[in-house]
């Protein structure tokens, strides 16, 4: 579709759109001939010829610029007189002369709110201008989720609805097809429930899903046996070839994990990663250097994110995408309604002693607003000046700063406000289903959060009996099956109640235990192995250890997510700077309040002489005031 679009809200032009958004329930997607006062549907869709405004969730009508923009203008001449016409043409009262033609700055996305104030949009979206303020609409088949346009039928981060993230299995990838979550396993692995396993090696799924080996057995070539054959090594009771095993490449605790858009191979004990066509290997991630803002044009070339906007990479070149309500003025995102240096248009500075209000330079701010460095703002609602001028609210990861008399946060769809953070309570084991609700791992198992519910996963060889992970081969209270208890003078051995333990096992309070492999009696009766969060305890050769679950990786004595852990970003020794976050295995600077990320540092572009007004704009021997060298 043409980038140059104008919008008309349900047949009501200009500022009436904004009033409608405040007093009406909106536009729905029924096939009514009158769409006034109707809302977009649950997927942000409208009927043909209409699109959804992502801020108000109202249906807005698409209009062709060529057919409707000039309203009688021809070759620079317009019907009517005055109305902001420049030296090159006369425009109607409601139009302004911009770039050689008369435009309506209340709805022209290239001149939104003033000449040169260009609206931007995310990938798969189109910029629109409503009432002189920038916004965007998503292409057909895409829906607005926070500041992105996504396909809810295919996006595993937003599957079926915004914020519904599909769980990532160990050894595989989350998928979304027809708005339903699924699993795609790496080559050589098989999906067993919601995890990907190697049936030839996994003692919990040895040869087939749910075919469990006993605690004194190992899994070799898909069969439960007493020991590993020559040339292979027992790693957590799996017989593997350390030279080729993806789960244990070179050593038992070194997995070789395939990145998204790529593949992994273990050759001679070394992990080798490769990427599919169109993607480049940057560290341990496969990225598109044409569109990845952290690796734009080449690896590790990050694009700077402006205040009130996001970094974008288009065809390998850094660009910006401004938040709704802000327009592109050069490399910055500006509210032309209140910025005194760009009041009513890019570069249209107010004179000394004047303030900017509603896109006009005035001698005094209207009642109910305060003069903050030449901008007329409402202190009760402005996140950049919340309660007082210069008091900026911090912007959380996965959310926006808000102000309602005091600072707050507004989280993206799928995230919940927990204190000053926006967290995923559908998958966060420390905040599962609600803030502060932690999932506790049982002995001989691990606990994870799936769709807001704590789920127990027992270690290989153990069975879930009412939330406890037990060895039904040896547990006298669950002998053979859950809740089957042996008599007082009997012991449990090999799943049967007998009078004595079999050779190679020890009597631990009526349970016949192999002290070499039992994580509740490791090396001696009663010695219970522990594990960090995101891991299951294991006992091997009478010594305790742990195995990380899901997509987590062992880094020292912790299990971490290399894609999001700022202390282990992309690799165990990958530490991000204090003001950066880890996104997709890459460090990304996330600045709070009125700061902008420039070359990995948070700076105030209003006063920074090396980044005055925008990153890299240097004031040689001059001061930087309000984003301009002077």
pLDDT digits (tens, 9 = 90+) for 25-40: 333 333 233 444 466 6
Q: Which of 219, 15, 51 is nearest to 137 (CA)?
A: 51
DSSP string over 313-347: EETTEEEEEEPTT-EEETTEEE-TTT-TTSTTSTT
553-590: buried (b, 16+ CB within 10 Å) or exposed (e) per residue? Answer: bbbeebbbbbbebbebbbebebebeeebbbbbbbbbbb
Instruction: Identify how many contiguous H helices and E strands the chain contains and give both numbers.
Output: 2, 51
Cα 170 from chain centre? 19
**588 pLDDT higher than 90:** no
Judged against a pLDDT cut of 60, whether residue 293 lies above it is answered with yes
Give tens-digit pLDDT for 296-350. Answer: 999 988 888 888 888 888 889 988 888 888 999 988 899 999 999 999 999 899 9
Run of H or E residues at 20: helix 16-23
- Confidence band of 253 (pLDDT split at 50, 70, 90): confident
**Mean pLDDT, residues 62-82 taken together:** 37
**What is the arithmetic mean of pLDDT over 585-598?**
67
pLDDT of res. 86: 42
pLDDT band at residue 45, thresholds of 50, 70 and 90? Answer: low
**Bridge partners of 516?**
none
> Is the pLDDT reported for residue 594 higher than 70?
no
- Answer yes or no: is pLDDT of 379 > 90: yes
Predicted confidence at residue 616, as pLDDT, reads 77
Least confident of 417-421, 568-572, 581-585: 581-585
Residue 256, exposed/middle/buried by CB under 10 A (0-12, 13-18, 19+)?
A: buried
pLDDT tens digits, residue range 342-360?
999 998 999 989 999 989 9
Beta bridge partners of 327: 334
Confidence of residue 403 (pLDDT cuts 50, 70, 90): very high
Q: 191-205, pLDDT tens digit by residue? A: 887 778 889 988 889
Name the pTM for this structure.
0.61
Return d(Cα 371, Cα 373) in angstroms, integer. 6
Could you give the count of Cα atoms lying within 13 Å of 578 in the half-sphere of its Cβ? 1
Please report which confidence band the pLDDT of residue 242 belongs to, taking 50, 70 and 90 as the band edges.
very high
Give the residue-averaged pLDDT of 418-445. Answer: 87
Looking at residue 70, its pLDDT comes to 37
pLDDT band at 81 (very low <50, low <70, confident <90, very high): very low
CB-based contact 592:300 (threshold 8 Å): no
Query: Minimum mean pLDDT among 83-97, 132-146, 199-213: which range?
Result: 83-97
State residue 599's pLDDT score. 66
């Amino acid at each position: 579709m043409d980038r140059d679009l104008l919008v008309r809200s349900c047949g009501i032009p200009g500022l009436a759109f904004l009033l409608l958004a405040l007093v009406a329930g909106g536009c729905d997607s029924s096939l009514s001939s009158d769409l006034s006062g109707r809302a977009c549907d649950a997927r942000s869709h409208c009927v043909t010829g209409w699109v959804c405004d992502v801020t108000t969730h109202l249906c807005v009508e698409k209009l062709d610029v060529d057919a409707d923009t000039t309203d009688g203008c021809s070759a620079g001449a317009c019907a009517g007189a005055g109305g902001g016409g420049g030296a090159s043409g006369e425009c109607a009262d409601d139009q302004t002369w911009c770039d050689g033609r008369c435009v309506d700055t209340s709805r022209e996305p290239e001149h939104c709110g003033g000449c040169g104030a260009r609206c931007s949009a995310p990938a798969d979206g189109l910029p629109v201008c409503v009432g002189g303020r920038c916004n965007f609409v998503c292409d057909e088949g895409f829906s607005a989720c926070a500041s992105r346009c996504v396909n809810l039928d295919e996006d595993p981060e937003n599957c079926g609805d915004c914020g519904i993230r599909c769980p990532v299995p160990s050894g595989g990838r989350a998928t979304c097809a027809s708005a339903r979550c699924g699993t795609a396993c790496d080559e050589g692995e098989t999906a067993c429930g919601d995890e990907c396993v190697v049936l030839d090696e996994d003692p919990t799924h040895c040869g087939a899903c749910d075919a469990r080996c006993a605690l004194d057995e190992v899994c070799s070539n898909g069969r439960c046996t007493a020991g590993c054959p020559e040339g292979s090594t027992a790693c957590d009771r799996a017989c593997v070839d350390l030279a080729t095993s993806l789960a244990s490449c070179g050593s038992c605790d070194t997995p070789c994990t395939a990145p998204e858009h790529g593949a992994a191979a273990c050759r001679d004990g070394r992990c080798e990663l490769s990427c599919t066509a169109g993607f480049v290997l940057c560290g341990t991630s496969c990225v598109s250097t044409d569109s990845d803002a952290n690796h734009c044009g080449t690896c590790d070339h990050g694009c700077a994110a402006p205040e009130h906007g996001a970094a974008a990479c288009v065809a390998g070149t850094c660009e910006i995408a401004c938040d709704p309500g802000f327009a592109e003025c050069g490399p910055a995102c500006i509210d032309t309604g209140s910025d005194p240096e760009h009041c009513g248009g890019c570069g249209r500075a107010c004179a000394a002693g004047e303030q900017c209000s509603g896109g006009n330079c005035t001698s005094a701010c209207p009642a109910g607003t305060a003069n903050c460095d030449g901008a007329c703002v409402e202190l009760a609602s402005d996140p950049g000046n919340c309660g007082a001028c210069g008091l900026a609210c911090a912007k959380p990861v996965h959310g926006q700063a808000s102000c309602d008399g005091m600072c707050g946060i507004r989280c993206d769809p799928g995230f919940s406000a927990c204190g000053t953070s926006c967290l995923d309570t559908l998958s966060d084991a420390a905040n599962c289903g609600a803030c502060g609700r932690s999932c506790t791992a049982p002995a001989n198992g691990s606990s994870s959060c799936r769709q807001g519910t704590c789920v127990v996963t027992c270690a290989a060889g153990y069975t879930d009996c009412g939330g406890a992970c037990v060895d039904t081969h040896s547990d006298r209270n669950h002998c053979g099956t859950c809740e089957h208890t042996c008599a007082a003078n009997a012991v449990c051995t090999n799943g049967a109640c007998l009078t004595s333990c079999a050779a190679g096992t020890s009597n631990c309070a009526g349970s016949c235990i192999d002290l070499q492999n039992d994580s509740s009696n490791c090396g001696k009766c009663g010695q219970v192995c522990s594990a960090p969060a995101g891991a299951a305890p294991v006992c091997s050769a009478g010594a305790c250890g742990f195995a990380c679950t899901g997509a987590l990786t062992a880094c020292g004595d912790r299990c971490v997510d290399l894609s999001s852990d700022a202390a282990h970003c992309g690799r165990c020794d990958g530490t991000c700077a204090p003001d950066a976050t880890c996104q997709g295995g890459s460090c990304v600077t996330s600045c709070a309040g009125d700061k902008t990320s420039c070359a990995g540092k948070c700076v105030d572009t209003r006063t920074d002489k090396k980044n005055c007004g925008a990153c890299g704009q240097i004031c040689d021997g001059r001061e930087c005031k309000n984003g301009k060298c002077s």
